[in-house]
Amino acid sequence: MSNIYRTHNCGELRKEHINRRVRLAGWIDSIRDHGGVIFIDLRDHYGKTQLVFNDQEQVKSLGREYVISVEGILCERDPETVNLKISTGEVEVRVDRVTVLGQSLRQLPFEIDSSLQTREELRLKYRFLDLRNTKLHENIVLRSRVISFLRKKMEELGFIEIQTPILTASSPEGARDYIVPSRKHKGMFYALPQAPQQFKQLLMVSGFDRYYQIAPCFRDEDARADRSPGEFYQLDFEMAFATQEDVFEVAEKVLYETFTAFSDKYVSPPPFRRIPYAESMLRYGTDKPDLRNPLVIEDLSGFFKDVDFMPFKGRPVRGIVASDCAARPRSFFDKMLEFATGIGMKGLGYISVGDGMELKGPIVKYLSEEKQKELIGRLSLKENDTLFFISDAPKLVDKLAGQIRTELGKRLELIDESRYEFCFVVDFPMYGISEETGRIEFTHNPFSMPQGEMEALETMNPLDIKAWQYDIVCNGVELSSGAVRNHKPEIMEKAFEIAGYTKKDIETKFSALYNAFHYGAPPHAGMAPGLDRIIMLLTGQESIREVVAFPMNSNAQDLLMGAPCPVTEQQLREVHIKLR
């Protein structure tokens, strides 16, 4: 027994170890008194083992969450006490020696085994206790195993891991920067990287062929269920002399093998579906389609052009056919209407298909017999189908239809929870109109190559130009964005000019990358699947905070460490800052 605390861990002992003298160490998970015989479940990183004490004096000073080391003989459990739910459930240690290594001196703020049901603010304040919960602990262990697996796969594919700087320059990448004042350069600031975007492109210009890293990224943006405020991690990779399909091949292999290795669910095999952005918005109402939901959105704008129904006049119309829905109770339709008005719709019209293919609903009276037949044929309607209508302004109609599609999928229990369905969304528009300024702006990564390159920039309406940009989506969750990069300075100048930047702006804000492109840059492309979201999907968690060891709360506060926090006047003086 060389280790003074333990010879085995709490998840290791089995029947083949019976009659051995063993030593264990861990936390007291529970204490049970069965008529003078005391049972303690001892817990460590690896599992739990049952301890048996026949002398109450040994345990009278012990309490839950005490850290102890024990010695004793491993015995087989009585048949009626066997617990096959745990790996050590057929054995127990009859303890003859116990040493207290650490006392739990304060009242526990919550029960460890039910901490996941505790108010989140309390859990985050006592995260070191929360992480003792078996389920949460397993999430963090799985995260470590997935990261190790990802590294192995990337290296098998010829990628090398290179770290990029954390202190860098501020750049306009879509979110607010976290800025760090410089002590040595008065009035100057570093920024934490929103992503290693420019650095990984500079690595390609430097002659490296395949780069990757598990990259920390920092963005001062509001939290969502699938987005942490402040900090997140991604599997960042870039490839020289690569096309969009080369990137897809790597992503498909790595993600398919990762999800099949760490889940028993069905995973859609490569090649993943490629869905153009315009099609995704029309058929699914989002650029993050959940393909487990079989419902699709139909464009009925042309059908209603010659129908005298005022709510649809001059507006795009979308339709969603829900099978076996017409027989649902009135309450189902009332709740769908309530949902629709809750997301900003003025109503939710629908037509039900009854016996003998008779169409029913307020809108039917506006449809001639010929139009009814046309509608039935066009949508392949069947008895007991319900056709829901969504009509609104062009900028809103697809998003609203997508929300109705998702809600119908949930309420009709159509979403297959036993699957991971992957797809690539491709052909994103290069430019859009800013809602704030009304001017043309980049819709995604400004360093993307436009499809058609310089010819497209010079001859096409900017709003019609597509970029070599793509997202990878799984079950309605965007795992990553990526792009074939713009590596030619003259195309970069023109692309930024259309978005309102001058050549001087480029030289100032992207000086390193722009300068590097003048010294021979290879074509290159890449993407960066979000690690936190991958773990979230694999564990079935609805909040990203359940797969991060020390997350901030939704208000961007670290309740455990007390950040953000005041600093001293001396610290402020050193970095030349005076608070107003």
Q: Mind listing the pLDDT tens digit for each residue in 472-508?
A: 999 999 999 999 999 999 999 999 999 999 999 999 8
- Res. 445: pLDDT tops 90: no
Model confidence pLDDT, tens digit, residues 294-316: 999 999 999 999 999 999 998 99
Residue-level pLDDT at 569? 94
How far apart are the C-alpha atoms of 124 and 101, rounded to whole Å?
Answer: 26
How far apart are the C-alpha atoms of 25 and 46, rounded to whole Å?
Answer: 11
pTM of the model: 0.94
- Residue with structure tokens 């969504």? 390
Tokens (6 digits) for 173: 């990448």
Name the residue among 235, 213, 217 with its Cα closest to residue 177. Answer: 217
How far apart are the C-alpha atoms of 423 and 24, rounded to whole Å?
Answer: 48
How far apart are the C-alpha atoms of 271 and 422, rounded to whole Å?
Answer: 9
Please check whether residue 432 is in contact with residue 426, taking contact to mean a CB–CB distance below 8 angstroms. Answer: no
pLDDT averaged over every residue in the chain: 95
Residue-level pLDDT at 173? 62
Question: Between 362 and 292, where is the model more confident?
Answer: 292
Please check whether residue 472 is in contact with residue 272, taking contact to mean a CB–CB distance below 8 angstroms. Answer: yes
Q: Which residues share a beta bridge with 299?
A: 318
Reduced to 3 states (helix: H, G, I; strand: E, B; else coil), residue 493 is helix
How far apart are the C-alpha atoms of 547 and 534, rounded to whole Å?
Answer: 10
Please check whether residue 536 is in contact with residue 226, taking contact to mean a CB–CB distance below 8 angstroms. Answer: yes
Residue-level pLDDT at 1? 52
Share of the chain above pLDDT 90, in %: 93
> Which H or E run includes 143?
helix 134-156
Residue-level pLDDT at 163? 98
Model confidence pLDDT, tens digit, residues 178-195: 999 999 999 999 999 999
Taking the alpha carbons at both ends of the chain, their separation in whole angstroms is: 63
Phi first, then psi, for residue 400 (nearest 5°) are -65, -40
If you average pLDDT over residues 66-79, what whole number do you get?
97
Helices assigned H by DSSP within 235-276: 244-262
How far apart are the C-alpha atoms of 417 and 274, rounded to whole Å?
Answer: 22
Model confidence pLDDT, tens digit, residues 156-182: 999 999 999 999 998 766 689 999 999
If you average pLDDT over residues 273-292, what whole number do you get?
98
Reduced to 3 states (helix: H, G, I; strand: E, B; else coil), residue 368 is coil
- The answer to whether the Cα torsion of 127, 131, 136, 140 is positive or negative is positive
Reduced to 3 states (helix: H, G, I; strand: E, B; else coil), residue 361 is coil
Q: Which residues share a beta bridge with 554?
A: none
Name the residue among 304, 298, 301 with its Cα closest to residue 371. Answer: 304
Tokens (6 digits) for 262: 């760490």
CB atoms inside a 10 Å sphere around CB 100: 13
If you average pLDDT over residues 50-58, what whole number do you get?
92
How far apart are the C-alpha atoms of 99 and 26, rounded to whole Å?
Answer: 11
Q: How confident is the model at residue 578 (pLDDT cuts 50, 70, 90)?
A: very high
Name the residue among 181, 192, 190 with its Cα closest to residue 231. Answer: 192
Residue-level pLDDT at 511? 92
Residue-level pLDDT at 103? 97
If you average pLDDT over residues 13-37, what whole number do you get?
95
If you average pLDDT over residues 532-545, what whole number do you get?
95
Question: Between 362 and 173, where is the model more confident?
Answer: 362
Q: How confident is the model at residue 225 (pLDDT cuts 50, 70, 90)?
A: confident
Model confidence pLDDT, tens digit, residues 375-398: 999 999 999 999 999 999 999 999
- Res. 357: pLDDT tops 60: yes
